[in-house]
Structure 1
């Protein structure tokens, strides 16, 4: 068995150590004997998106995100079709914002997004920064997800959230919701990176990819003592 993981624009969307998410996905597959190919999709490597089994979109600078938007807009319908077909996607921060309709900047100007989802992000005063703990809505055990957020944009939507905020700000610092889930697409502001400290979420994405491709219903268990030690340390320091 094998998976092809598409790392979208690794040269432009690479803030806050989120490359570690791809490393985590690959290693957890390798430990299970699943062959993995990492495809760095970019303007210089326009690999067929339909060949991908799992997709990661990271965060980037405003300049980087604008460049990505101009290029990825050509593939927005393909991305939408993959999401509707159940392809797992993890989109972090700027990647999360990019999937929506628009970003409203500090001057009130609309910066278009890909329009795959009907939500928007608005630049508001101050940044939402710090460690964050949420109670996930995916039914994962443990129920907590931990990470670090650092964003000036506030995202507003009526989709299923990834979770309820226990500590931190989440989507907008107001509604106590964090992230977005649709089919097997997850948008979130959790950096850190999120997957090494939340192996249950990493396995959720891997299993969804394996189920879609091979009909697999269960992954073999791994020894996650180190991963959950990092997870639990955040809970010890910051949980109420």
Structure 2
């Protein structure tokens, strides 16, 4: 019987899971269970369902624009639930589409404004060209690698920090050198890959924060990350 159990929720797994971001959850499962820490998975199809499950980490991925319409409607109706959870210390990782949807707004190429959850102080505008390619980012959680594929250009407000500085790639907008966002225990990024599989330090940061919040103390045993860093090295060396 395990002493600690971490509950991991997957936001909108049917609609927002088209770029392999489920791999982030698989990575967390592996890194928890390898240390003798229990893992429970919850599919969260509506933010209202967060009231019935006591989540420690919540993960969101990217999706097709047509699917994001349904998701955006639910987010607007129930955004206060997620905002309260974030204020209470819930740990989150939002990739690409979910990253955008949790911001203040998205401005389409026609100039229409799509309201976001308002959890993250970010604004996104539709770009004329897609930003596609391998990314390398310098962050306080180590060097991060991933693959970006987005046309939206995201700009950070005054109440959030970037996840890191772009070494290779476009990042949030291809202009200011930022990639991703950090707000309290929530992280946002455009990096697929999946992100956590190739960046074990960031994966462990999410785990540490969730355990500290739930159990008030944390000491993670080391893991053999030779394969993870081999994948990291290959991804870093790929051309843009």
Give yes or no for TM over 0.5.
yes
Change in Cα spacing, 1:31 to 1:73, as seen in structure 2 (3 Å) is same
Match of 1:186 in 2: 187
Q: Helix, strand or coil: the match of 1:196?
A: helix
Deviates more, 1:166-175 or 1:62-71: 62-71
Task: Give per-residue Cα distances to partners, 1:85-122, cap 9 Å, x unaligned.
Answer: 22110000010001111111111111111112232100
Aligned to 2:16, which of 2, 13, 17?
A: 13
Aligned to 2:30, which of 18, 23, 27?
A: 27
Q: Helix, strand or coil: the match of 1:3?
A: strand
Q: Helix, strand or coil: the match of 2:75?
A: helix
Match of 1:153 in 2: 152
Corresponding residue pairs, total: 235
Q: Helix, strand or coil: the match of 2:121?
A: coil
Alignment RMSD (CA, Å): 1.7
Unaligned runs of 5+ in 2: none
User: Are 2:220 and 1:222 equivalent residues in the alignment?
Assistant: no
The 5-angstrom pairing of residues 130-145 of structure 1 reads: 130-136=133-139, 139-140=140-141, 143-145=142-144
Distance 1:119 1:43 in 2: 22
Distance 1:193 1:30 in 2: 19
Match of 2:235 in 1: 234
Q: Helix, strand or coil: the match of 1:7?
A: strand
Change in Cα spacing, 1:45 to 1:83, as seen in structure 2 (3 Å) is closer
State the Cα distance separating 1:48 from its structure 2 match.
Answer: 2.3
Q: Helix, strand or coil: the match of 2:232?
A: helix
Contact persistence 1:50–1:82 (CA under 8 A): no
State the Cα distance separating 1:144 from its structure 2 match.
Answer: 0.6
TM-score, normalization: structure 2? 0.93
Unaligned runs of 5+ in 1: none
The 5-angstrom pairing of residues 73-112 of structure 1 reads: 73-112=76-115
Q: Which runs of 4+ in 1 moved over 4 A?
A: none
